């Protein structure tokens, strides 16, 4: 387990979320969603909060909303689909 993943799991638990929120095959990182990601498309966004630039994972429904918002406000699109998913 990477240092980022260890720190993220600890923070998730402290905040009362599933331990694997935002992690690969875990749960969507959006607090109001938390959809299970196992076996489903993963979208990722850089974690600017910790300045590690690690990837945080989101479900497709949330990614679609983020992308629509980014385009609406003319900002760079933040979400990228994981292409090499098993």
Q: Which residues bind Zn ion (CB under 5 A)?
A: 28, 30, 33, 35, 59, 62
Smaller CB distance to Zn ion: residue 51 or 61?
A: 61
Q: Are 19 and 5 in contact (CB under 8 A)?
A: no
- Judged by beta carbon, residue 35 or residue 81, the one nearer Zn ion is 35
> Within 13 Å, how many C-alpha atoms sit on residue 67's CB side?
12
User: CA angle at residue 61 from 60 to 66, to 5 degrees?
Assistant: 95
Q: How far is the CB of 5 from Zn ion (least distance, A)?
A: 19
> Would you say 28 or 45 has its CB closer to Zn ion?
28
How far is residue 24's CA from residue 37's CA, in Å, rounded to a whole number? 7
Residue 28 CB, nearest approach to Zn ion (Å):
3
Q: Which residues contact 7 (CB under 8 A, 6 or more apart)?
A: 50
Name the minimum Å distance from CB 27 to Zn ion. 8
């Amino acid at each position: 387990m990477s240092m980022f993943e260890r720190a993220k799991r600890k923070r998730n638990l402290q905040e009362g979320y599933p331990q694997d929120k935002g992690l690969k095959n875990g749960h969507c990182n959006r607090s109001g969603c938390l959809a299970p990601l196992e076996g489903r498309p993963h979208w990722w966004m850089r974690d600017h909060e910790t300045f590690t630039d690690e990837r945080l994972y989101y479900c497709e429904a949330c990614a679609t909303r983020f992308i629509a918002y980014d385009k609406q406000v003319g900002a760079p699109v933040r979400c990228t689909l994981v292409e090499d998913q098993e």
